[in-house]
Chain A
Amino acid sequence: MALVWGLEALRPRNDYDTASLPQWRWWVMPFFLWALWWPLTPGFPYHEMIGAASTTVAGQFEGLLYSPFGIMAGPLTLALLCLLALCREANRLLVTAFSILAILLTRFAEPMWWVSIPIYPIAAYCLAFWNVDVMVRARRARKSRGQNGETEG
């Protein structure tokens, strides 16, 4: 994940200009807001997740690593997927790799599996939307090239 985002940092291809997006594309926004809001849910049993030894300095490190906020593994990965779904143009390699890795991450790195449930539909949406979009454009380009060839011939 770091690698694909590092490549994006070196050669940025995502277009975050969301001003011209059609309204229906904003349907992921509730998931995005949920991803940001959820870890701050009051009354959540953080102490049970972090452990009884969390009052020590080591416990604070544990909270940093293994708390249900899951610094990157859980809700924030979902927020990033939502952001990719909101791009006007997206780096196809980044979207594809990140979506697949996000799903894999939920299997290996997220101790609370149910936290990851919203990641699956959003990752599937990102995969389908950007890849289908690219295929449709390629087909249109082939058609237009074919029509131009016919008119020229």
Chain B
Amino acid sequence: MRPVTPALHVLWALVFALIFWKRNEARRVFAAIVAAGYVFHAAMPFAFVVWRMWAKTGGVVYTQDLGASRPSSTAAASARQCVC
């Protein structure tokens, strides 16, 4: 389990706790956080691709096949990497 994702998940749980606790007092903040979350979710893949290209680790291949075998870290450094 990656440590960063549960951390994000806990943050979202706190955001939901905020709206259930403060209710209408926090509705503007809650909506803004949710909007920012979707912007983040939409923007990150592009930022990730740019970062990959900037790091010159090779081309980027998109695939939906999550079950496919993935290149090892050493192979990925020298060849194309998958972004699944």
**Are A16 and B19 touching (Cβ within 8 A)?**
yes
Which secondary structure dominates chain B's binding surface? helix
Number of interface residues of A (CB under 8 A): 46
**Are A64 and B27 touching (Cβ within 8 A)?**
no
Among the listed stretches A76-84, A118-126, A144-152, which one makes contact with chain B, having 4 or more residues with CB under 8 Å of it? A76-84
Which secondary structure dominates chain A's binding surface? helix
Identify the B interface with A (CB < 8 A): 1-2, 4-6, 8-9, 12-13, 16, 19-20, 23-24, 27-29, 31-32, 34-42, 44-45, 48, 51-52, 57, 64, 66-67, 69-73, 76, 81-84
Task: With A48-B67, A65-B45 given, name 12 new contacts (CB 8 A).
Answer: A2-B35, A5-B38, A9-B35, A12-B28, A14-B27, A17-B23, A40-B9, A46-B1, A51-B82, A51-B84, A52-B70, A69-B6
